[in-house]
Structure 1
Amino acid sequence: MGAGGHGRCCLDIARDMNLYEEIAFLDDAHVNEVINKCKVIGTLGEMSSYYPEYTDIFIAVGNNKMRKKLSLLAKEIGYHLTSLISPNCYISRFTDIGDGIVVFPHAVIEANASIGEGCIITSHVTINHDAVIEDYCLIYSNTVIRPNTFIGSLSRIGSNCTVTFGTKMKSNSDMKDGSVIEPSDEYSFEVGV
């Protein structure tokens, strides 16, 4: 779902995975068009019409709240939320990964990190060991999430950011490009507060 810039990048990853015989888009703005050799067969509102002809779905929408809404609807219909994992990234076998995520090329996710459902991990992101990224977060390119950090659900972290060791960020945090976030910053909180 979604044939915009993010959707086209996700299409590349899906093709690189070489798992699917057929891939089609649902997108409100481009119905009946062919985008990057992939047909747009319907609108987002027509999602239920294509199940069970299609059983796997990926929500390629950058807006965290909209991605969550569409993911929950897709699961209610019966779709399997597939994940798109670039063959050119590194994920430890000891990482816990939720459904419906995308991991772009050259991302690194280290041992015992936890990535929630519906997250977007873009190119050259490094998530160190024991970091927790809750559901429906978006982490942009060249960002480093240090060990023992906690990123609350629906958070957006810009490019070239560093979230320092042990930082805890509230849900719905929105970090500007180039930010360095430390445990004492306004986005941090004590667990359980």
Structure 2
Amino acid sequence: MKKTFHLGKIGGLEILVKPLVFVVFIVLWLVGVGVGIGLLKLSFGTAFVGGFLCVAAHYITNYLHHFGHSLAAKRAGYPMTGILVMNILAKSLYPRDEPELPAKVHIQRALGGPIFSGLVALILGLAAAALRSSGGILYGVVLFAFLDTLLVYTLGAFLPLGFTDGSTLLYWLPRR
């Protein structure tokens, strides 16, 4: 079995996916169906579609987070080459032959994702507020995407977990 699938390019970035992602997608989808039926009292069909759309929204906002990193990287003069989706999250890919870079470049690239995600969260939050009175599956999916983007890709990105933007910033800020 291949270790990585090449899905092509989006926005100039090579999209690579580990096989585990497909399993994780299905598991998250089933969890979404369970939450929809058990907690939200949705019909099976609505929970099935809503669960799929929520998981798809998660991976789309994951891409948008990394697209933010790519914009910052391009602006810094050291662009990304792609995104590797590993499970629930992904990582930015840079050229293997990239020279040693100054701290300010690492800092700028690390901030690009959370800043862009913050803008996406703002747009999704406004959309959720506009859809609130109508309710329904569209409102639920947009609300989920807003919360996911805000909590995971904007605020959560700053947590120093060893693999996050927050860890990158903690390492490079004292070295500028």
TM bucket, shorter chain? under 0.3
Higher relative contact order (CA 8 A, sep 6+): 2
TM-score (norm. length: structure 1): 0.21
Higher helix share: 2
Higher strand share: 1
TM-score (norm. length: structure 2): 0.22
